[in-house]
Amino acid sequence: MGLFGRKNTESATAVATLPVDPALAALTGDYTIDPAHSSIGFTVRHAMVTNVRGTFAEHEGTLKLDGTDPGASTASIDVRIASVDTGIADRDGHLRGGDFFDAERFPLMTFRSTRAEQLGGDAYRITGDLTIKDVTRPLSIDLEFNGTATDVYGNERVGFEGSAEILRSEWGLTWNAALETGGVMVSDKVKLNFDISAIKNAA
């Protein structure tokens, strides 16, 4: 079921005449991300030999799904940097400080979508602007649509999970330390992970 625009080479006239999937059309609306049932995190290589995983406990965002014009669907997410949690207090403090995120000066990491497309089946890609500190660069996130459900409180939910890889240096996160055995303490490549549950707003 296509939530976002599908790539094709047909003319605009031909695309306009395609029938609308009723199930897709029913999803049209504004949604609020449920932070209690969503996760935004990262994985980064440490000391060249293992992975460190972390999450951002505080985040909020919205989705706008358009079932009759899927390419018009959008996403907006704000992440509070000070909520970073890797399970080690000293490491979290270092990440919040000036060597990394400088959370006091730049409290939010933000994503604003600019394009969405279906890759096939339930696979999608959403592209937008990711801002960390004072640097904004494009980012594409590959997503899988996990479906819809009505929860026990009557909320209509949609779910997505996805990931993306970035080079942190491209956003000004350049701190590192050389290892005596060669290599560096923290890899430049970081994997971002998203597990999103969003509730449809009341009409």
Chain segment 87-113, per-residue pLDDT in tens = 999 999 999 999 999 999 999 999 999
Residue 1 has pLDDT above 80, yes or no: no
**Two structure tokens written together for 34:** 């449920």
What does the pLDDT look like over 153-176, one tens digit per residue?
999 999 999 999 999 999 999 999
What does the pLDDT look like over 113-154, one tens digit per residue?
999 988 877 888 999 999 999 999 999 999 998 999 999 999
pLDDT of residue 17: 43
**DSSP secondary structure letters along 36-64:** GG-EEEEEEEETTTEEEEEEES-EEEEEE
Single-letter residue type at 43: T
